[in-house]
Amino acid sequence: MDDLLNDFLAETAEILAEAGGALVAWEADPSDRERLDAIFRLVHTIKGSSGFLALPRVTALAHAAEDALDQVRRGNRPANAALVTAVLGIVDRLSEICAVLGSKGAEPEGDDSDVIGAFAVGEAAPDPGAEAPTEVAGIPMRREDDLGADLQNWRSIRVPLPLLDSVMTGVTDIVLARNEFARMLRESGADPSVIASFDRLSDSIAGMRQSVSQMRMQRIDKLFAPLPRIVRDLAQELGKKIRFTTSGGEVELDREMMENIRDPLIHIVRNAIDHGIEAMGDRVAAGKDVTATIAVSARQSGNQIEIEIRDDGRGLSPDALVAKAIAARILTATESRALATKDKYELVFRPGFSTASKITAVSGRGVGMDIVKSNVEKIGGVVELRNDEGRGLAILLRVPMTLTIISGLMVRAAGQYFAIPRGAVREILLESSDSVRIEKLGGGEIVTVRGEQHPLLRLEQVLGRARDHRDDADDRALVLIRPGQGQSYALSVAAIHDHEELVIKPAAPMIMATGLYAGTTLPDNGRPVLLLDVQGILAAAHIDASEIGRGVDRAAEAEAEANAARNAAQLLLFRDICGRTRGVRLSVIERVEEVPALALFESAGRVQAQIGDHIFPVHAARLPDGHGTIKLLRLHDGRSILCYPIAEVIDIVRLPDLVQPAAAPGLIAGVLLVGGDPVELIDPYWLMEQYAADAPAPTPRQPLCRLADDHDGWGDNFLAPILRGAGYRVTSEHTDETPDVLLCLTEEGVLEDGLENGGVPTIRLRVSVAAAGPDDETVYRYDRGALLDALRRRLGGGRP
């Protein structure tokens, strides 16, 4: 019975979270029948299972909600905010009861008529909720179609997490045993057939290991499920209108990881609603849509998951942040002047900082972004801000896919291996590299890398060990480490080994107490390796690794300049659609676009590409064959864009100085050698020249042509397109702007507005071919040449 109850509670908790989100989505679009059916099924499931477990309160509540929803389905009741609020009330009450059920094992006493009674509000039909509590045991079965979709749920089962963990440990043991066995096989010089069959076993073990780690994964939309509800309630409370969207719900994440980012995520969303989104009046004043948007999206990149929470609110104001920080005594005015804009944004992560000018009931509860940041960092994640002042803020949480597996850099020092979390590593350099300068200063060491100074720590010294005499001085490397925002230091190690995916387990307390290690890991060779605590090392060495005042900005500028200089002389190598290797200066490429082959079309003998709302010329003799996608280099000369179809980008290399020029100007400017192979260099000047003639010459201002007396629409339908094609703007309405020329479609029509008298040149059109006389200044309305001529004479504008 206990197992049943536990299953019920776990299932119900999930259903309630899902139902909350689904209800809010349904409220936004009550015509969404499918969603309504889904909510109905969820409630129905709770009712069904609670009846089986004899939980009368739960059954009554679920029944009331189900009944009301059923009436909506049958069209007997309108779907409105009152109904949704009432159902949400039921959902909340059910959550409370389930919480007590979980701790006490029995349904608490209580009266639910208040939440059930809420259905009576605004209800047209006779109140069915009132009779609900009496119907407890008899669960009327709904039509077959109601339950059809539930079958999906039966295709998965619940497994306790410890069981999964033990399977995981078991598989790890198997992997280690396999490695040991493989070594023994190699040493014994076994028969090839034995080795072949061992390899088969080995492959299936690898596959199994993969499956086991997938078993712990859950779709991230579980994490997103409660958010719509939170947004709805909070937006209502604060009188804001918010459109909430989520995407990437199919991304999978380790269960445990999910638990760890739930609170930070909710906090960020609440913050966005409370502080980020302006009051409706302010939004109107700022010319924004009254309905604000908050978008939560997830995507997987490598073995990391990126979750972005983007709002279109007011964003962060660096000056306001600084003022706030000074007021909160986190920062002195002197320090503030040394801060770069980026550092100012980082102020929100300082403990004791709150961006709201007043503490609100919603998010100003002493839980700040510092807690969010430390929680995310605790699980090996990173928080990033992307601010667009006045237009919104995006917060990016980047977390490893699983709690226990991280990407680590293996380094050697004092004759043994250590791991450094890859996420904290900014750069790896050889000590002998030209861009590195190491100096001893007052007993300490600092290293300057491209103008940027970092404190230098030697790993052997930090660990209190001597250098291993077998180490080769040439191998010594510097690992630039960024342990947290705004901090960096260089760690000198005897050698860099490689990157590995590491399963991290906590080390024994007395080892963790040293502060130097973050855990242990067991690579496939079976020799334990300690994971270094990059923050702890800093503390142990008693150094200030803060970047403030180190002239980082100057260095960053220098770096940007160096990059720009490099870009100017970089060559993009690509294979064109005929398979030839060609190159083009990187700086003329705006970007590489991948478009469906269907976006290319032929028009007036030229191949063109439609990208978004624009049409660009394409350098191709004919349309490419086949379907699928095609890559286009977008060449940009500052004014116009030309697309150059390619098969693939090969590399970006330094442009060699030696170019063998081509004999005659053409597509190929010359040939150069890259890595010993000849590469044809594209001449962007020639290319652009070919297409520049086609591009419409930008006229500074197109003359405005006013059509008058257009009674039958001839002017609008027949004449206006010709005029527009000739480079005029055409209007037949009265505008504030004085027209440059007036076209009167009748021979004697009266001109209103006094435009004629206001000095606006006028052309009158006549219907007959022949002129009325030698003085007739009118133009026959189907004489295109004469008409355009007349316009040009009057204005001196327009294109021939």
Partner 1 sequence: MMEKLYLVARIADTRVALRSRAINSVVTVGTPVEVPGAPPHVAGLFALRSRVLTLIDPHVVVGLPSVPVAPGQRVIVVDVAEHGYALLADQIEDVCFIDAPETRVAGKLMPGWARVADAVIEHEGASLLVVDPAHFITLPALKAA
Residues in touch with partner 1 (CB under 8 A): 169, 172-173, 175-177, 414, 416, 463-465, 505-511, 513-514, 516-517, 520-522, 526-530, 540
Q: Which residue, 212 or 695, is less far from partner 1 as judged by CB?
A: 212
Amino acid at 423: G
Q: Which residue, 37 or 468, is less far from partner 1 as judged by CB?
A: 468
Q: Which residue, 62 or 463, is less far from partner 1 as judged by CB?
A: 463
> Cα(128)–Cα(657) distance, rounded to whole angstroms?
86
Tokens read off for 217: 């994964």
- Minimum distance of partner 1 from residue 419's CB (angstroms): 12
Q: Which residue, 137 or 510, is less far from partner 1 as judged by CB?
A: 510
- Minimum distance of partner 1 from residue 509's CB (angstroms): 7
- Minimum distance of partner 1 from residue 526's CB (angstroms): 5
Q: Which residue, 124 or 466, is less far from partner 1 as judged by CB?
A: 466
Helix (H, G, I), strand (E, B) or coil at 779: strand
Give, in order, the Cα–Cα distances in Å from 664 to each of 215, 411, 681, 686, 690.
Answer: 64, 55, 13, 11, 15
- Minimum distance of partner 1 from residue 248's CB (angstroms): 33
- Minimum distance of partner 1 from residue 465's CB (angstroms): 5
User: Nearest to residue 300, comparing CAs of 361, 360, 249, 370?
Assistant: 249
> Cα(260)–Cα(374) distance, rounded to whole angstroms?
11
- Minimum distance of partner 1 from residue 482's CB (angstroms): 23
* DSSP calls for 346-358: HGGGSTT---SSS
Q: Which residue, 28 or 522, is less far from partner 1 as judged by CB?
A: 522
Tokens read off for 375: 């929680």
What is the side-by-side strand order in the sheet with 729-731? 729-731, 704-708, 741-744, 762-766, 779-780
Q: Which residue, 169 or 435, is less far from partner 1 as judged by CB?
A: 169
Specify the DSSP class assigned to residue 108: P
* DSSP calls for 655-723: PPS--EE-SS-SSEEEEEEETTEEEEEE-HHHHHHHHHTTSPPPPSSPPEEEEE---SSHIIIIIHHHH
User: Nearest to residue 384, comparing CAs of 530, 486, 252?
Assistant: 486
> Cα(360)–Cα(356) distance, rounded to whole angstroms?
8
User: Nearest to residue 40, comparing CAs of 149, 123, 162, 133?
Assistant: 149
Q: Which residue, 510 or 697, is less far from partner 1 as judged by CB?
A: 510
Q: Which residue, 506 or 549, is less far from partner 1 as judged by CB?
A: 506
- The distance from CA 495 to its chain's CA centroid, rounded to whole angstroms, is 36
- Minimum distance of partner 1 from residue 186's CB (angstroms): 19
Q: Which residue, 166 or 717, is less far from partner 1 as judged by CB?
A: 166
Q: Which residue, 354 or 402, is less far from partner 1 as judged by CB?
A: 402
- Minimum distance of partner 1 from residue 426's CB (angstroms): 24
- Minimum distance of partner 1 from residue 173's CB (angstroms): 5
Q: Which residue, 176 or 650, is less far from partner 1 as judged by CB?
A: 176
* 420-450 as b/e: b if 16+ CB within 10 A: bbbbbbeeebebeeeebeeeeeeeebbbbbe
> Cα(491)–Cα(449) distance, rounded to whole angstroms?
13
Amino acid at 226: P
Q: Which residue, 532 or 765, is less far from partner 1 as judged by CB?
A: 532
> Cα(357)–Cα(271) distance, rounded to whole angstroms?
13
Give, in order, the Cα–Cα distances in Å from 319 to each of 169, 382, 549.
Answer: 52, 24, 19
Q: What are phi and psi of 439, to 5 degrees?
A: -130, 145
- Minimum distance of partner 1 from residue 458's CB (angstroms): 13
- Minimum distance of partner 1 from residue 467's CB (angstroms): 12
727 backbone φψ class: left, alpha, beta (φ>0; ψ -120 to 50) = left
- Minimum distance of partner 1 from residue 411's CB (angstroms): 13
* DSSP calls for 585-601: EGGGEEEEEEEEGGGEE
- Minimum distance of partner 1 from residue 517's CB (angstroms): 8
Contact criterion met (CB below 8 Å) for 416 and 400: no
Cβ neighbours of residue 368 closer than 8 Å, sequence gap 6 or more: 348, 351, 352, 353, 354
Q: Which residue, 514 or 567, is less far from partner 1 as judged by CB?
A: 514
- Minimum distance of partner 1 from residue 474's CB (angstroms): 24
Q: Which residue has the tokens 């601010």?
A: 387
